[in-house]
Structure 1
Amino acid sequence: MQTQRPPSVWVDNGHAIVRRGMVACLQQAGFVVRGESAALVPTPTVDRIDVLLFESEGTALRRAVRLAAGRPTGLVATIRVATEQQVREIVDAGVAAVLPHDTLTPESLVASVRAVVAGAVTLPGDLLARLLTHVMQTANLGPTGLNPRERSVLRLLAEGLDTRGIAEDLCFSERTVKNVVHDVLTKLNCRTRAQAVALATREGAI
């Protein structure tokens, strides 16, 4: 019987102690850490990893997105100051999880990276709630109108559920969930689930 390989990750952070602490937490949780960097130097070998965990400072966001372009590698960004605008920029770029430094714990780090490996989206709860509070709830999203089933899937994505969790919650098959997500990405012209959640949140669709 073939066993599933453990997920792999690359850890990028400018503070050596913080970086090594992240490495230790992830290794203890069963992840394989393929390498470390500061400000993405040395350049991560993204073709060999499931998740690139990077510190979003300066030009790092643009560089990380460019490195992962066209690959299945998930992006997880840590940020020092979690402003609404910065989180939106990060999510719009295709990053699947955002981890503010001031609320980061070993448990939240491991849970977020695992969620991204499973295909989920992880956003700061307080910022997501703020986005939801300040948008007008509408029945449709412009000319591309999302139907109720698509909005339900998006809401659960925003809550951090992966494909299996969404299927169980809505009593769908996992194949149906994947098809709905594909339709949503097509309608919203988004490359990733995180982008779709960010756009739908801003437009009041969820």
Structure 2
Amino acid sequence: MQAQAAPSVWIDDGHAIVRRGMSACLQQAGFVVRGESMGLAPTPVMTGLDVLIFESEPGALRRAVRLAAGRPTRLVATIRTVSEQHVREIVDAGVGSVLPHDTLTPETLVTSLRAVVAGNVSLPGDMLVKLLAHVRQHSQLRPTELNTRERSVLRLLADGMDTRGIAEDLCFSERTVKNVVHDLLTKLNCRTRAQAVALATREGVI
């Protein structure tokens, strides 16, 4: 069996020490650091890149999303100031993980990136609360709108399982799971898995 390639990462941050610290932690955990930048300059090399970590300063979110458009690259945002509006914008843009600088540790960095590479989302508890508030204001969901299969997939998403794990647990193909997730996001009017889980949790569906 061919060994799985180590996930590749590009690190963007305004402080060299932060970049070097992240790089050391991730390389020790088995990631391949492909490059570094400040303010997304020089422009990250996106070809074949698994994860782009970027500092979500004004304008950076839009540029990062544009760089990743049409690519399988996952986005991870680091933020220095946490606000409800900022969190909402980041999650609505489809970013897989949000890492506040003031609570960032080697363990949370590695755990979050592993979750994102596996296709999951990673949000601190206080940010999930903010997201729940946002979803509650903009979405309405009746439990009868979801079928048994969709509820089962949602529960496993809430448990942090990735597509492969859900497929194995429910005896589905990975393609079926992806189709169910797509239908869920469409039905719930959510852009990300995190939003779907937040909405379903808030409404007592799962």
Q: CA deviation at 1:171?
A: 3.9
Letter in 2 for 1:91: V
Who is 2:76 aligned against?
76
Letter in 2 for 1:128: L
Who is 2:129 aligned against?
129
Letter in 1 for 2:27: Q
Residue 139 (structure 1) aligned to one of 138, 142, 148: 142
Who is 1:15 aligned against?
15
**CA distances 1:18-69 after superposition (whole Å, capped 9, x unpaired):** 1110011000000001100001000001123100011000100000000000
TM-score between both structures, scaled by the size of structure 1: 0.83
> Is 1:48 matched with 2:51?
no
Quick one: distance in 2 between partners of 1:74 and 1:181? 17
Q: SS of 1:77's equivalent?
A: strand
Q: CA deviation at 1:10?
A: 0.3
TM-score between both structures, scaled by the size of structure 2: 0.83
Contact 1:88 1:198 in 2 (8 A): no
> Is 1:173 matched with 2:176?
no
Quick one: distance in 2 between partners of 1:181 and 1:119? 12
> Is 1:4 matched with 2:20?
no
Q: CA deviation at 1:82?
A: 1.9
List runs of 5+ in structure 1 lacking aligned partners.
Answer: none
Quick one: distance in 2 between partners of 1:84 and 1:156? 26
Letter in 2 for 1:2: Q
Q: SS of 2:11's equivalent?
A: strand
The number of residue pairs the alignment matches comes to 202
Quick one: distance in 1 between partners of 2:95 and 2:158? 13
Letter in 1 for 2:83: T
Q: Cα–Cα, structure 1 residues 59 and 131, in superposed 2: closer, same or farther, change >3 Å? A: closer
List runs of 5+ in structure 2 lacking aligned partners.
Answer: none
The sequence identity of aligned pairs, in percent, is: 75
Q: CA deviation at 1:163?
A: 2.2
**CA distances 1:58-94 after superposition (whole Å, capped 9, x unpaired):** 1000000000000000000011122222111101011
1:104-119 equivalences in 2 (<5 Å) = 104-119=104-119
